[in-house]
Amino acid sequence: MPRTTTRDHREHSRWRGRQRAAHTDAADRRGKQVVTPDLIAKRAKRHLEELERTNYAASSLLNEPDSDPEASSTQKSKFRARQTVISDKRTFPTVSAAKKKKSSMNVRTAILYRKGIAALIDESGIASIGPTQPSYLTASAPAPAVPPRMLCTVPTMCPHHNADSLPTQNDDMVIVDITASNGHHNGVNGVNGVNAGRDNRRHNPYAPRASDFLNNVSNFKIIESTLREGEQFANAFFDTKTKIAIARALDAFGVEYIELTSPAASEQSRIDCEAICNLGLKAKILTHIRCHMDDARIAVETGVDGVDVVIGTSSFLREFSHGKDMSYITKTAIEVITFVKSKGIEVRFSSEDSFRSDLVDLLSIYQTVDKIGVNRVGIADTVGCANPRQVYELVRTLRGVLLPTHTPPSKREPHTLIHVRPYGPSSPSYSLPAAILGIGERVGITPLGGLIACLYAANPEYVKSKYNLPMLREIENLVAEAVEVNVPFMNPITGYCAFTHKAGIHAKAILNNPSTYEILKPEDFGLTRYVSIGHRLTGWNAVKSRVEQLGLQLTDEEVKDATAKIKELADVRTQSMDDVDSLLRVYHSGIQSGELAVGQKEALDRLLKRHREGSLSNGTASDVAVTA
């Protein structure tokens, strides 16, 4: 059979155009014809008969008319036209009618062309199948055997009190009975499935799992970079005295590494670096240098414990910053790292602008420095373009190509460590960089307080044993004063309202159990929580707690009545704690003397007015507001 040609397409298009024009003219002559249900049924029956005749039977239309000597020229032209409509890419072989097979592709095309999905479903009878018999409409995926894995988990929130301890046994975890969850009996985990013999109970998906205890929350080190990255903050100027004070405070807090500005930056930077190295701190002292031999020679002479080598690897930095290609970068990195290691000093190699660098270039340079034995490698999201998932994927990829077997363990840490910035230990990372208040170049890096808060939430006992947490506020105040900024109100842990609770439902829950709205214990950081009650949002439970603190004896109804008065006054202005205390004492005094009862607003107003006038006459004015 000849293939369909462009000429056939044109002829068919012209024929269709003439047909449409003829139908239009006929409709115009007939006018607006009313389509009756009988006419619709007749047309549908005709279409179904044609569909049955042309697609479900071994129709002669599927045989090439040219091979049939009895086929007329009209049949041949109809075949060509139909073939063009159904498929212009398929031809049918010239074989006998007995061996002819239908084209399933053409059959499906014709069916979908003539019928909607609703008609096909209706004819198939699928809708009448019972709900317990699997079909295309009723089949559903079985419930997973284990809870889905989460990238970031806070396992200490649900099963125990305020993150005091981590349950490690299955018996300590919360059990949820889901035996009557959905009524399905034929799934994989159902009564007749492969897991029928197992216990149908499942552990709470928010409770700790074995995988949670295999992460690095208990195996990390903090590289505190206030004296390096922090010096790049716009307001920062640290003289030698200030640097020493900050270094001593960080060492007392317990950080493992303190990173200093490159001694090659200036003569004073070199002097300050040597001075801090000679303090005899427990923390190791690092310095941050360019991937250049001149910087490396100056750094190793200052007495530092480690050197962080960095160079830009993205196309932007290679073209517009240092102007070096990857071959030069690789050669220089080998030279610098080999020199630093020869001095018995720790060395870390980091690429700048890692997430805009070519992955092949990154893997090549990291494999190279790994083979010569760096202690750590680092990746940096220099411009803040990466999301946490991208960080996770890049870290995982790097750990897949970095092998810890090239250097003897006696001269090297057990694994090549990934120094990730700015995300935390949910990625496979051991070294976590941070700066006090997050100060640094542009908008800075991870704040030390925020990092500590995340680590504490994940493993409070370990963090409390490792760091002197009450010193955090002292260090932040020291640095804030040095760079002439205030500690932000929303600062993690030390912000002035970090442990302040105001809303009524929050206050009630906090008073019953602080774990309801606090994942951190303020007392572990030398702080206290505060429940604000002098406002229109206050609740009577918070007021009752204050009544008990003042040693007053009031019933619940009386406390609710006093709370209503506090709300009334707070609609005019916020009441201080002294205002609230004065009102509660006046209310209690009135109840005890019999001058006041629940619901007597006028009597309470008189008592408050008398108290205010008495305070004024005694020279101790009270700010208790009195309604008109």
Catalytic annotation, residues: 506
Give the whole-angstrom CA distance, residue 401 versus residue 364.
Answer: 9
Cα→Cα distances 148→153, 182, 205, 501, 626, Å: 11, 19, 8, 34, 58
> Which tokens is 432 given?
């976590």
Closest Cα to residue 536, out of 576, 499, 496, 566? 566
145 CB contacts (<8 Å, ≥6 apart)?
189, 195
Using CB atoms within 10 Å of the CB of residue 212, give its burial: 0 to 12 exposed, 13 to 18 middle, 19+ buried: middle
β-pairing verdict for 202-203 and 175-176: antiparallel
β-pairing verdict for 175-176 and 431-434: unpaired
The secondary structure element, H or E, covering residue 559 is: helix 556-570
Closest Cα to residue 205, out of 140, 154, 164? 154
Per the DSSP assignment, residues forming a β-bridge with 447 are: 435
Q: How far is CA 204 from the centre of its chain?
A: 21
503 CB contacts (<8 Å, ≥6 apart)?
537, 539
Give the whole-angstrom CA distance, residue 108 versus residue 446.
Answer: 59
DSSP 390-404: HHHHHHHHHHHH--T
Contact 481, 252 (CB under 8 A): no
